[in-house]
């Protein structure tokens, strides 16, 4: 069953220019994506390709310019405000920098329990559930009365997780949740994420620029390039041949093996989105057709989609 | 000193004004000519301070408490500041994580490289310009002639890092200290810059002290690797040996916690790195070590050579 769906969503921002309005920057160009119940969907791509923008749309923090956002089967932005407000707590977020997303003047206990208090849950129940949640994410009880700055980065991320899960949401969108953490702390948080997903039966959209991390966690992976999804596949399929040339480049770029790699240039600016296939200027297999025509996201096997004329 | 050693750091301890405990130490290692030496470890373990000390550079408040940094036959720490400055750039170049902080936003990148050429190699005018174009093409900047007139903000992150490398090479140094030089870059660009470091080493016979928190990056470029934990080196070995048969429990835990393609299960190392001032008296890793024995809490282990070129700081090895 699908819990969340983005259908052909587009999003542009008007850049501010000097005195007059700047150009329009199209960040997302017709992106479709669906998240199933109990699924971890990984979203990977390089800096600036639109991952966080997509996260904000999937969190209903922003409205798409075009296309539809469906949550639990309902067209979110067409619902009356009161119904939208009821749906909101079932959609939670964890961001890269918990220091920025946690109010520095609130104590840990209040930060974790705030979503419950907003729902009008009784004091005793709030306290019980907060302590239970803290135990589940591995925070000691003493942390209850501390402030965010008194915790380490990994502990702050545990607080953000506890706060996101305490209302038993349907979906949690995690935007680079471990990118600021050390390797040993990252492993703690990744395994905790798997454990919690299992216990709560929640679905995740897990965003990262780190492909091995995404593949470790996700059931399915969406690969983004310049505001488009160029490939969508079960994680296991990324170990097989016949992938999108950009996915192949990402895999070949993972350091550690001193292997020969294709020469590939750098991603162009969103302001100069290439005509035809967005990846053609860097693609070793590009043909004239790739400059003329944009390839659709085509099904190549049951759950595997690729946007490429050459596959 | 070993034959062919270019830089030798001996018993280095770094402290900080107003604090009674060290930030880094005791650190000893040697870098051979033409070698890429990788320094890896988690945040706060002392990689950057150690790297800067190799240029006798110390952030404000930080000072060497003991030890020597010997480049060829000169102890940099015993030189007056004015002579140290001559060494930097000319003999040892420095590259940071974020080139935007190291480049001056109000001058063109061409001008900035020409300045270094004038200072260290006495080149000016047309000669400096031509050498800059040559350096830009050496580091793989597309359209080097056009790039001369670009300001730093007009370049992509990858191109800025190439300019930064060209600038570090302008004095024709024998050693580069590169502190997380690809951490701010996208993976596809990172792969190209790592390739560039390997090429430069092959072409110029450069030595590089390559600092990173990323084990995979270190594995890609380094010939020898030192793993730091809480201010000291806990293991040092040739690249292949370190990754295939790590001996220190921390190195092993770090490798098991690092996701690679095909990782099915990450092993979790509980706890975190103790900050300076809270290091245990015995082995600094003992509180987190799955293999500790009572003695580990008492005795601080030495960095011992267990096999040729393989040093480990562990009582149990
Ligand atoms: N509110 C906004 N106004 C103008 N431009 C924006 C806005 N939000 C995002 N952008 C631009 O949209 C592009 C995509 O940004 P986004 O943050 O979604 O990328 P990302 O994939 O998350 O990148 P990163 O990996 O660096 O986090 C960038 O060029 C960014 O500058
Ligand atoms: N100027 C300074 N004054 C006081 N303490 C400092 C100063 N610079 C660094 N430190 C401390 O010294 C220790 C080592 O710092 P260093 O920057 O070398 O770590 P690092 O290994 O490079 O970490 P990272 O991976 O985060 O860059 C840290 O605990 C840091 O907080
Ligand atoms: Mg982002
Ligand atoms: Mg550092």
Annotation: CATH topology of A2-294: Rossmann fold (3.40.50)
User: Does A255 touch chain B if contact means CB atoms closer than 8 Å?
Assistant: yes
ipTM of the complex: 0.90
**pLDDT of A203 strictly over 80:** yes
Assess whether pLDDT exceeds 60 at residue A298.
yes
Question: With a CB-CB cutoff of 8 Å, which residues 120-179 of chain A face chain B?
Answer: 152, 154
Instruction: Please report, for chain B, the start and end positions of each structural domain, with discontinuous segments joined by +.
Output: 5-80+222-312
- Alpha carbons A252 and A250: distance in angstroms, whole number: 5
Q: What is the dihedral of CA B81, B83, B86, B90, to 10 degrees?
A: -110
> For the segment A106-120, what is each residue's pLDDT rounded down to a tens digit?
999 999 999 998 888
Cβ neighbors of B47 (< 8 A, separation 6 or more) are: B39, B40, B41, B179, B211, B212, B213, B228
Looking at the CA of B47, name the nearest ligand.
2
Give the pLDDT confidence score for residue A21 in this predicted structure.
73
Shortest distance, CA A118 to any CA of chain B (angstroms): 33
Q: Do A190 and B270 touch (CB under 8 A)?
A: no
Span A216-243, mean pLDDT?
96
Quick one: pLDDT at residue A264?
Answer: 77
Helix (H) or strand (E) holding B238: strand B232-238
- Please compute the mean of the pLDDT values over residues B92-119 and round it to a whole number: 90
A187 touches B at CB < 8 Å:
yes
Evaluate whether the domain defined by B5-80+222-312 bears CATH number 3.40.50.300: yes
Instruction: Give the residue-averaged pLDDT of B171-195.
Output: 93
Q: Against a cut of 0.80, is the pTM above it?
A: yes
List phi, psi (to 5°) of B251: -60, -45
User: Is the distance from CB of B147 to CB of B159 less than 8 angstroms?
Assistant: yes
User: Which residues approach ligand 2 with their CB closer than 6 A?
Assistant: B 16, 23, 41, 43-49, 59-62, 213, 275-276
pLDDT confidence tier of residue A70, bands split at 50, 70 and 90: very high
CB < 8 Å to B198, chain A: 258
pLDDT at B69: 97
What is the reported pLDDT for A19?
67
**B186/A267 touch (CB, cutoff 8 Å), yes or no:** yes
B226-235: per-residue pLDDT in tens?
999 999 999 9
Q: How far is A167 from chain B (nearest CA, A)?
A: 27
3-state secondary structure at position B294? helix
Greatest alpha-carbon pair distance for chain A in Å reads 68
pLDDT for A57 beyond 70: yes
Q: What are the strands of the beta sheet with B310-312, ordered from one edge?
A: B92-95, B175-179, B207-212, B36-40, B224-229, B232-238, B310-312, B304-307
Instruction: Measure B173 CA to nearest chain A CA, in Å.
Output: 25
State the SS3 of chain A: CEEEEEEEEEEEEEEECCCCEEEEEEEEEEEEEEEECCCEEEEECCCCCCHHHHHHHHCCCCCCCEEEEEECCEEHHHCCHHHHHHHHHHEEEECCCHHHHCCCCCCHHHHHHHHHHHCCCCHHHHHHHHHHHHHHHCCCHHHHHCCHHHCCHHHHHHHHHHHHHCCCCCEEEEECCCCCCCHHHHHHHHHHHHHHHHHHCCEEEEEECCHHHHHHHCCEEEEEECCEEEEEEEHHHHHCCCCCHHHHHHHHHCCCCCCCCCCCCCCCCHHHCCCCCCCHHHCCCCCHHHHHCCCCCEEEECCEEECCCCC
For residue A280, pLDDT beyond 50: yes
Residue pointed to by tokens 């591995």: A138
The crossing angle, in degrees rounded to 10, of helices A153-165 and A183-200 is 10
As a whole number, mean pLDDT of residues B87-109 equals: 88
Nearest-angstrom CA–CA distance, B137 and B158: 14
The pLDDT score that the predictor gives to residue B2 is 46
**CB within 8 Å: A191 and B215:** no
C-alpha angle B243-B244-B249 in degrees, rounded to nearest 5 = 70
Around ligand 1, the residues with Cβ closer than 6 Å are A 13, 25, 27, 45, 47-53, 209, 270
Summarize the confidence of residues B213-230 as an average pLDDT.
97
Among A25, A29, A230, which residue has the most ligand 1 atoms within 8 Å of its CB, making it the best to mutate? A25
Task: For residue A236, give how far its alpha carbon lies from the nearest alpha carbon of chain B (Å).
Answer: 9
Q: Would you call A184 and B190 a contact, using CB atoms and an 8 Å cutoff?
A: no
- Reported confidence tier of residue B8, pLDDT bands at 50, 70, 90: very high
| CB-based contact, A49 to chain B, within 8 Å | no
Residue B1 has pLDDT above 70, yes or no: no
* Minimal-distance CA residue to ligand 1 atom 29: A48
């Amino acid at each position: 069953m699908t819990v969340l769906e983005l259908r052909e969503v587009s999003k542009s921002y008007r850049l501010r220019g000097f005195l007059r309005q700047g150009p329009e920057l199209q960040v997302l160009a017709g992106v479709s994506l669906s998240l199933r119940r109990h699924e971890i969907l990984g979203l990977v791509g390089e800096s600036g390709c639109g991952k966080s923008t997509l996260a904000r749309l999937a969190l209903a923090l922003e409205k798409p310019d075009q296309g539809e956002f469906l949550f639990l089967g309902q067209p979110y932005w067409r619902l009356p405000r009161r119904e939208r407000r009821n749906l909101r707590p079932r959609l939670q977020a964890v961001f890269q920098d918990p220091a920025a997303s946690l109010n520095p003047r609130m104590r840990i206990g209040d930060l974790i329990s705030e979503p419950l208090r907003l729902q009008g849950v009784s004091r005793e129940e709030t306290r019980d559930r907060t302590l239970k949640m803290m135990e589940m994410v591995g925070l000691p009880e003493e942390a209850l009365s501390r402030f965010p700055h008194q915790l380490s980065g990994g502990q702050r991320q545990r607080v953000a997780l506890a706060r996101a899960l305490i209302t038993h949401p349907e979906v949690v969108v995690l935007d680079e949740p471990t990118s600021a953490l050390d390797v040993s702390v990252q492993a703690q948080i990744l395994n905790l994420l798997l454990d919690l997903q299992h216990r709560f039966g929640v679905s995740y959209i897990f965003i990262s620029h780190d492909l091995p991390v995404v593949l470790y966690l996700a059931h399915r992976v969406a690969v983004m390039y310049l505001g488009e999804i160029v490939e969508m596949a079960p994680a296991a399929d990324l170990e097989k041949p016949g992938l999108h040339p950009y996915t192949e480049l990402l895999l070949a770029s993972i350091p550690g093996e001193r292997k020969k790699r294709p020469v590939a240039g750098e991603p162009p600016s969103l302001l100069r989105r290439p005509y035809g296939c967005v990846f053609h200027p860097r693609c070793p297999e590009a043909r004239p057709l790739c400059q003329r025509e944009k390839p659709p996201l085509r099904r190549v096997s049951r759950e595997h989609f690729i946007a490429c004329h050459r596959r | 000193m070993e034959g062919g050693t270019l830089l030798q750091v001996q018993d280095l301890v770094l402290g900080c004004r107003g604090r009674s405990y060290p930030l880094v130490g005791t650190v000893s290692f040697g870098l051979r000519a033409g070698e890429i030496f990788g320094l890896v470890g988690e945040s706060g373990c002392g990689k950057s301070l150690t790297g800067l000390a190799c240029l006798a550079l110390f952030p404000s408040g930080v000072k060497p408490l003991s030890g020597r940094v010997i480049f060829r036959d000169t102890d940099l720490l015993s030189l007056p500041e004015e002579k140290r400055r001559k060494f930097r750039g000319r003999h040892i170049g420095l590259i940071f994580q974020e080139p935007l902080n190291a480049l001056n936003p109000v001058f063109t990148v061409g001008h900035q490289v020409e300045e270094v050429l004038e200072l260290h190699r006495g080149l000016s005018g047309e000669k400096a310009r031509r050498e800059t174009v040559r350096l830009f093409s050496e580091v793989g900047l597309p359209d080097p002639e056009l790039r001369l007139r670009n300001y730093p903000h007009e370049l992509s992150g990858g191109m800025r890092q190439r300019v930064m490398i060209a600038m570090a090479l302008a004095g024709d140094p024998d050693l580069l200290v590169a502190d997380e030089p690809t951490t701010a870059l996208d993976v596809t660009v990172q792969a190209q810059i790592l390739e560039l470091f390997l090429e430069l080493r092959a072409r110029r016979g450069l030595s590089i002290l390559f600092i990173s928190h990323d084990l995979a990056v270190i594995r890609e470029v380094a010939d020898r690797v030192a793993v730091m934990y809480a201010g000291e080196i806990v293991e040092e070995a040739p690249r292949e040996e370190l990754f295939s048969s790590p001996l220190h429990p921390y190195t092993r835990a770090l490798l098991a916690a690092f996701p690679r393609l095909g990782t099915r299960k990450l092993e979790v190392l509980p706890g975190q790195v103790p900050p300076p001032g809270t290091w245990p008296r015995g082995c600094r890793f003992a509180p987190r070590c799955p293999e500790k024995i009572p003695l580990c809490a008492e005795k601080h282990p030495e960095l011992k050579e267990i096999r040729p070129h393989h040093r480990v700081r562990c009582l149990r090895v």
